[in-house]
Structure 1
Amino acid sequence: MQISSDGQLLTTSLIITFRGRILQVNDIIIDTGSSHTVISPDILEEIGVLYENL
């Protein structure tokens, strides 16, 4: 994993694998004070991850 900095934000790329399908998401902001990571459901639909409201 390579971490980049623009002087204010730390960013990296994220590779997600789901059921054999691979998706690379670039420019993920690293927030060291956050307790969770949120990835947009719209992006994940590209590899078959679907959002369900239960």
Structure 2
Amino acid sequence: MRIAFRNGLLFVSLTIMYKGKTKSIDNVVIDTGAAYSIISPDVVDDLGLVYEKDDTVVTSYGIGGKQYAFVKQVKPGT
């Protein structure tokens, strides 16, 4: 894994696999103080990675306020 340090933040590229589809996402910030890693649904909807009624919803709090996200299990891409 290559980690880049820019503007005081840690960045990586992330490759995920979901239901047989693979996607790489660049410039993902590693938040060392976060309880969850959150990826915008807009970035992964082409993989079919969307909210479904049985998904768990989590709440995160930060400087911007309260944020809701759904939880999915994905596999690391190769």
The two structures share one fold, judged by TM-score above 0.5: yes
Q: Name the aligned partner's letter for residue 50 of structure 2.
A: L
Corresponding residue number in structure 1 for 2:39: 39
| Unaligned stretches of 5+ residues in structure 2 | 55-78
Please report how far the alpha carbon of residue 53 of structure 1 lies from its aligned counterpart in structure 2 after TM superposition: 5.8
Please report how far the alpha carbon of residue 5 of structure 1 lies from its aligned counterpart in structure 2 after TM superposition: 0.6
Structure 1 CA distance for aligned equivalents of residues 35 and 48 of structure 2? 26
TM-score, with structure 2 as normaliser: 0.62
Q: Name the aligned partner's letter for residue 48 of structure 1.
A: G
Corresponding residue number in structure 1 for 2:29: 29
Structure with a larger share of its residues in strand: 2
Number of matched pairs:
54
Structure 2 CA distance for aligned equivalents of residues 5 and 13 of structure 1? 13
Corresponding residue number in structure 1 for 2:49: 49
Corresponding residue number in structure 1 for 2:6: 6
Please report how far the alpha carbon of residue 15 of structure 1 lies from its aligned counterpart in structure 2 after TM superposition: 0.6
Corresponding residue number in structure 1 for 2:63: none
Q: Name the aligned partner's letter for residue 27 of structure 1.
A: N
Please report how far the alpha carbon of residue 52 of structure 1 lies from its aligned counterpart in structure 2 after TM superposition: 3.5
CA RMSD after TM alignment: 1.4
| Unaligned stretches of 5+ residues in structure 1 | none
Please report how far the alpha carbon of residue 36 of structure 1 lies from its aligned counterpart in structure 2 after TM superposition: 0.8
TM-score, with structure 1 as normaliser: 0.85
